[in-house]
Amino acid sequence: MNSEDSPPERFVAIGGEFFSLGLLTDALEFYALGGYEEGLREVLAEAVDQGDLFVYRLAKKALGEAADEEELTRLAQNGVKAGKLVYAKAAFEEAGAHDKASGLMRDELRKKRGGKLH
């Protein structure tokens, strides 16, 4: 698809199709091509809900915004619930909650060792 010949509405429509399928990175790419800020914000919100730091960073970049501490904390909490511990740890760290990040890994290590750290 040639972006010079396609109207922004076409990109937005394709982005919407990808979004409805849960393909967030694809949706993000097409929303960005269509200049559709509302769609980019929907992808951002979904990334926070899913605990997906990778998509969150892409969405923030596409929006030209810096990471938000509150969003990162919610993302990290959701990542823990979803079992995305690496993303959760990194999000806690980016939010400045280093104690939560290290505690998360300590807790997971404890679980794997049957309640013992050593």
pLDDT tier for residue 59 given thresholds of 50, 70 and 90: very high
Count of Cβ atoms closer than 10 Å to residue 117 Cβ: 8
Q: How far apart are CA 26 and CA 63, in angstroms?
A: 15
Q: How far apart are CA 42 and CA 20, in angstroms?
A: 11
Mind listing the pLDDT tens digit for each residue in 67-100?
A: 999 999 999 999 999 989 999 999 999 999 888 8
How open is the CA angle 111-112-115, to the nearest 5 degrees? 45
Mind listing the pLDDT tens digit for each residue in 26-57?
A: 999 999 999 999 999 999 999 999 999 999 99
Residue 21's pLDDT is 98
Locate tokens 């998509």: which residue? Answer: 55
Q: Quote the tokens at residue 13.
A: 């429509």
